[in-house]
Every structure is written in structure tokens, then in C-alpha cells.
Structure 1
Amino acid sequence: MSDHLTATGLRYDGTGAPTVTLSGQKAEARRIIAEAREQSIPILKHPSLAQALDPLQVSDEIPESLYLIIAEILVLVYQLEGRADPRTSRT
């Protein structure tokens, strides 16, 4: 594992921007990743995205500059989970 291991949890409820739900470095990041694995939460290893998310705090919205990459990731996660695409499931 990298000396600068980081983990960031995101939540998207279908409105507004995704928000940071958890964030940690080193030992805390390992705990977050282990817990995500236990709960079958998808994990993405993406060093440049991790670096971009690193300055954000819990409850922060992701910056507009990351909307596209996060949207692409969310679509993939939704597909993996067999859920409807959040862009088309609004009523």
C-alpha cells in the first residue's frame, strides 16, 4: 500500500452534487476500505481522483470540476448493483 493511502466515501441521492460521507488517511483509510469490503461496497483505486478528493471534508459537495468523472463512476456502480441510472429514474 502507498505511504499516502487515502479513502473517501461519497453519497449521491439524485439531487445536487455528491457529498463526502467519510474521509481518512493511512490507518483510517485502511479501516474505511476494510469496512467497505465487508459491506460489498464498490471500491475504486484511482490515485489522481483520490488526490483531487483529499482536501474535501465530510459533508462537502464535490467540486464542479469532478462532476463528469464522479457521474461516470456512479453510473458504473449503479450498473454493477443492478439499480436504475440516477439520471433517468426521477419522477
Structure 2
Amino acid sequence: MSNIAPKTQKAVALKYDKEKQGAPKVVASGKGEVANNIIKLAREHDIFIKKDADLVELLSKIEINKEIPPMLYKAVAEVFSFIYKITNDKRQ
């Protein structure tokens, strides 16, 4: 028997509209059942899911509908770049 409790699942959803926003913003965030629902909705709508526990931890501290701070631009840009590449590869 183990005394180690399983980690609670966390999820954060980002949205970026370069015409309307200066930076991506957090549109959903949660843990446990809320995180499971965020992930379920993403899958239902074919939205790419990137697992990065450290980044999720940082993003989960940002209020909903707030843009990410400049210190996270690089990390989030890498995620968006990865998603863009995967999306383009699927189209070809």
C-alpha cells in the first residue's frame, strides 16, 4: 500500500486572436473534474492538447480572460509554434 496520493489533473485553455489581442489569454482553468471537462471539450472540438505540467502550473495562476504575462511569452510561443507545425503537417 502506498501513501502517495495521485496528482490532481490540471488544465488551462488559451485563446489568441492576433487581430484583437496583444497576447494569448487564459479562457479556462481548473483542476480535477473541471480539468477533465476542459480536456474533454478540447478533444470534442479537435483542439490540440499539449501536456506540460510546469507551464500549466504557471498559467493556472492567471485570472480567466487575462492575457499571459510577458515572462511566459516564449514558453507559450513554443507551444503555439508546435501546434501550427502539427496542424500544417496534417493538411499536407
**TM-score, with structure 1 as normaliser:** 0.81
- Does structure 2 conserve the Cα–Cα contact (< 8 Å) formed by 1:3 and 1:26? no
The 5-angstrom pairing of residues 9-88 of structure 1 reads 9-14=13-18, 15-82=21-88
- Any unmatched runs of 5+ in structure 2? 1-5
Identity %: 36
TM-score normalised by structure 2 residue count: 0.80
Number of residue pairs the alignment of both structures matches = 82
Distance in structure 2 (CA, Å) of the matches to 1:35 and 1:78 = 20
Give the structure with higher Rg (CA): 2
Q: 1:3-31, CA deviations, whole angstroms, 9 ceiling, x for partnerless residues? A: 33111110111241110111111100001
Pick from 8, 13, 25 the counterpart of residue 4 of structure 1: 8
Paired residue secondary structure (2:29): strand
Give, as a single letter, the amino acid of the residue that structure 2 aligns with 1:62. Answer: I
